[in-house]
């Protein structure tokens, strides 16, 4: 099957994993412009839990999608920069922020090519953009302020369905995040079966999800 046909099939099943955003921003534009696509709109449970008692600070949402987490933080008083490769996603984020009368800095761009000043962020989010979490590890660590938190969530490589694996084979391996972010203090690490916010098969709404919350020393 040709890649375009595979992608169309995945879209119809809501199986396209968010990490393909790194390779195909146009494809993700199609997802965000599709009114029938299952795109999560509520803030991540992990973000809600992690930031519940944090004072507002400066945050980076890397691969923010439609801005669901960036907007939540901005409404809580955080100064947020959100970045995504998809123009349609960023447009949706800006529209929702405008509707809610919330201000945050939303950019179309590639986090891997951006200047991330050293020790600039109190919080960095990287959810369901697995390749970015892996490739930008050193940059994320350097960009955190001392005491700053990094929040990562994504799917384990073994959780990818055969259909999505036909298009991309990215995901986290066993303990991969622990090894990459060992310079940080690991506050929370999970690798378990639980609902995946992205890439759910409607017939099997549970996946193997990996979560990391770590703090700059």
Q: What is the pLDDT of residues 106-161, one digit of tens each?
A: 999 999 999 999 999 999 999 999 999 999 999 999 999 999 999 999 999 987 65
For 112, phi then psi, to 5°, come to: -65, -20
pLDDT digits (tens, 9 = 90+) for 163-208: 554 445 579 999 999 999 999 999 999 999 988 888 644 345 678 9
Statement: residue 51 has pLDDT above 80: yes
Which CATH architecture best describes the domain 3-215? 3-Layer(aba) Sandwich (3.40)
Give the span between the Cα atoms of 201 and 45, in whole angstroms.
20
Q: Is the pLDDT of residue 100 over 70?
A: yes
Q: Contact at 8 Å (CB) between 186 and 214?
A: yes
φ/ψ of residue 138, rounded to 5: -65, -40
Output the six-digit token pair for 151: 């929040």
What is the average per-residue pLDDT within 63-79? 98
Structural element, H or E, at residue 133? helix 130-135
Per-residue pLDDT at 17: 38
Place of tokens 């447009």: 91
Model confidence at 38, in pLDDT bands (50, 70, 90)? confident
Geometric angle at alpha carbon 210, from 44 and 52, rounded to 5°: 35
Which among 190, 175, 188 is positioned nearest to 215, based on CA atoms?
A: 188
How many whole angstroms separate alpha carbon 209 and alpha carbon 104?
29
pLDDT at 198: 82
Predicted structure pTM score: 0.85
In tens, the pLDDT along 15-34 reads 343 334 344 577 889 889 98
Confidence (pLDDT) at 1: 36
- The structure tokens listed for 57 are 């600070």
């Amino acid at each position: 099957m040709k890649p375009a046909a595979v992608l169309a099939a995945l879209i119809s099943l809501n199986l396209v994993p968010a990490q393909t955003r790194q390779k195909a921003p146009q494809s993700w534009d199609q997802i965000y412009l599709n009114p029938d696509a299952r795109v999560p709109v509520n803030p991540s449970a992990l973000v809600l839990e992690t930031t519940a008692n944090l004072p507002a600070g400066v945050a980076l949402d890397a691969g923010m999608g439609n801005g669901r987490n960036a907007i939540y933080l901005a409404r809580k008083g955080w100064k947020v920069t959100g970045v995504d490769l998809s123009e349609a996603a960023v447009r949706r984020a800006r529209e929702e922020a405008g509707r809610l009368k919330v201000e945050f800095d939303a950019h179309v761009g590639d986090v891997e090519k951006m200047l991330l000043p050293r020790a600039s962020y109190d919080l960095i989010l990287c959810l369901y953009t697995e390749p970015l979490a892996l490739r930008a590890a050193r940059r994320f660590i350097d960009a955190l302020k001392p005491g700053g938190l990094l929040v990562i969530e994504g799917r384990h490589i073994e959780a990818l369905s055969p259909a999505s694996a036909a298009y991309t084979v990215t995901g986290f391996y066993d303990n991969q995040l622990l090894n990459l972010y060992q310079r940080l203090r690991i506050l929370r690490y999970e690798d378990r079966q639980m609902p995946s916010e992205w890439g759910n098969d409607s017939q099997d709404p549970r996946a193997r999800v990996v979560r990391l919350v770590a703090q700059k020393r």
